[in-house]
């Protein structure tokens, strides 16, 4: 019984008092604009290119895309990334081959085609732009071995 009263009291406190306390001084990345006001439109950033790719921040990090992808298309039926990165074309195009992990389904069975779970490349692999971070960070990559 005492537990129930304490839990109810704590819940009421959080629901009534805490939101007002948190809202004071909290600002979103959009700035002090009301939620229904249009956000500021920023100019598009130019994608960075890197011969040989970008250095990874940690061992299992997916490689970042070192070229423009504006004209690439990925849909349910088409994936233009594979024109250069497939097993058949990567040597001719001098591009990295899609990793073996992309040819394994969720049960561990090896496939002859890329797994549907790995079809949408830019879920994990992203292009880079020269932009200032929105928030500060203290992340430091581990030394590469």
27 Cβ contact list (under 8 Å, min separation 6): none
DSSP SS3 for 11: helix
46-129 carries CATH number 1.20.1600.10: no
Q: What is the mean pLDDT of the chain?
A: 84
| Positive or negative torsion for Cα 59, 50, 136, 131 | negative
Q: Where are the domains of the chain?
A: 46-129
The better pLDDT of the pair 9, 124 is held by: 124
Taking the complete model, does pTM exceed 0.75, yes or no?
no
108-118: pLDDT as tens digits: 999 999 999 99
- Highest averaged pLDDT of the listed ranges 1-10, 18-27, 65-74: 65-74
Cα distances (angstroms) measured from residue 12 to each of 3, 16, 23, 86: 14, 6, 17, 58
53-68: pLDDT as tens digits: 898 888 888 999 999 9
């Amino acid at each position: 019984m005492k537990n129930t009263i304490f839990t109810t009291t704590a819940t009421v406190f959080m629901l009534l008092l805490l939101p007002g306390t948190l809202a004071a001084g909290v600002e979103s990345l959009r700035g002090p604009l009301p939620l229904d006001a249009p956000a500021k439109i920023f100019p598009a950033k130019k994608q960075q290119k890197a011969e040989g790719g970008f250095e990874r921040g940690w061992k299992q990090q997916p490689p970042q895309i070192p070229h423009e992808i504006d004209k690439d298309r990925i849909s349910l039926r088409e994936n233009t990334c594979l024109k250069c990165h497939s097993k058949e074309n990567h040597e001719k195009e001098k591009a990295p081959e899609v990793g073996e992990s992309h040819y394994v389904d969720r049960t561990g069975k090896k496939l002859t085609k890329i797994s549907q779970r790995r079809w949408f490349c830019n879920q994990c692999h992203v292009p880079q732009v020269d932009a200032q971070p929105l928030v500060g960070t203290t992340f430091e990559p581990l030394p590469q071995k």
